[in-house]
A and B are shown apart, each in its own frame.
Chain A
Amino acid sequence: MTKRIDRRVMLRALIVLVIAVAAFIALGASGSPAIASTTDTVVAHSAALSNEAPSALTQDTTTVHATADTESSGVGDNRYVQQFINGIVFGLLLALASVGLSLIYGTTGLSNFAHGEQVSLGALLTFFFASKQEVSLPFLPVEFSIGWPLLPSALAAIAISAGTGWLQDRYLWSPLRRRRVSIVQQMIVSIGLSLAMLNFIQWWFGAERKRLTTSIDTRLDLGLFSIGQTTIWSVLIALVCLGGVGYFLLKTRTGRATRAVSDNPALASASGIRVEKVVRLVWIMATGLAAVGGILLALYDNAAAFDVGARLLLLMFAAVTLGGLGQAFGALVGSLVIGVAVEMSTLWIGTDLKYAVALAILILVLLVRPQGILGRAERVG
Chain B
Amino acid sequence: MTDAPVIVDADDLYAGYLPGIDILNGCSMRVQEGELIGIIGPNGAGKSTFLKALFGLVPIRSGSVTLGDEDITNMRADELVKRGIGFVPQTNNVFPSLTVLENLEMGTYQRPKAFKAQWERIGELFPKLVDRRDQRAGSLSGGERQMVAMARALMMDPKVLLLDEPSAGLSPDRQDETFVRTREINRTGVTVIMVEQNARRCLQICDRGYVLDQGTTAYTASGQELLKDPKVIELYLGTLGA
Residues of A at the B interface (CB closer than 8 Å) are 1-2, 4, 253, 256-257, 259-260, 262-264, 266-275, 376, 378-379
Contacts and interface: CB of A to CB of B under 8 A. Distances in A.
A75 B87 CA distance: 68
Interface of B: 55, 57, 76-78, 81-82, 87, 89, 92-99, 102, 105-107, 109-110, 112, 134, 136, 138, 152, 156
DSSP class of A's interface residues: helix, strand, loop or mixed?
helix
Contacts of A271: 81, 106-107, 109, 152, 156
A270 B99 contact: no
Nearest to B18: A180
B105 A256 contact: yes
Cβ-closest 9 pairs across A and B: A272-B81, A263-B95, A269-B77, A272-B110, A271-B106, A272-B109, A270-B87, A260-B95, A272-B78
Nearest to A273: B109
A376 B107 CA distance: 24
A378 B110 contact: no
A273 B106 contact: yes
Given A259-B98, A270-B57, A2 B78 contact: no
Contacts of B89: 266-267, 270
A266 B57 contact: yes
6 contacts: A260-B106, A266-B57, A270-B87, A270-B89, A272-B156, A379-B138
A194 to B, nearest CB: 29
A270 B97 contact: no
B102 A270 contact: no
B216 to A, nearest CB: 25
Contacts of A379: 138
B96 A378 contact: yes
Nearest to B136: A2
B138 to A, nearest CB: 6
B96 A263 contact: yes
Contacts of A253: 105, 109, 112
B99 A2 contact: yes
A268 B102 CA distance: 12
Contacts of B102: 256, 259-260
B98 A256 contact: yes
A268 B109 CA distance: 10
B92 A267 contact: yes
Contact of B95 (A2, A4, A259, A275): A259
Contacts of B156: 271-272
A2 B82 contact: no
A267 B103 CA distance: 10
Given A257-B109, A270-B55, A270-B87, A264 B95 contact: yes
B17 to A, nearest CB: 9
Nearest to A1: B97
Contacts of A272: 77-78, 81-82, 106-107, 109-110, 156
A202 B105 CA distance: 47
B138 A378 contact: yes
Identify which of A4, A266, A267, A275 gathers the most chain B CB atoms within 10 Å of its CB.
Answer: A267
Nearest to A268: B106
B98 A263 contact: yes
Nearest to A377: B138
A297 to B, nearest CB: 30
Nearest to A106: B97
A91 B152 CA distance: 39
Nearest to A3: B134
A378 B78 CA distance: 27
Contacts of A2: 99, 134, 136
Given A270-B81, A272-B77, A376-B97, 12 more contacts: A1-B98, A253-B109, A268-B106, A271-B81, A271-B106, A271-B156, A272-B81, A272-B110, A376-B96, A376-B138, A378-B96, A379-B138
Contacts of A270: 55, 57, 77, 81, 87, 89
B85 to A, nearest CB: 9
Contact of B93 (A4, A260, A267, A275): A267
B97 A262 contact: yes
A264 B95 CA distance: 6
A253 B138 CA distance: 20
B93 A259 contact: no
Contacts of B112: 253
Nearest to A271: B106
A378 B92 CA distance: 12
Identify which of B57, B92, B102, B107 gathers the most chain A CB atoms within 10 Å of its CB.
Answer: B102
B92 A264 contact: yes
Nearest to B93: A267
Identify which of A1, A259, A264, A273 gathers the most chain B CB atoms within 10 Å of its CB.
Answer: A264
Contacts of B134: 2, 4
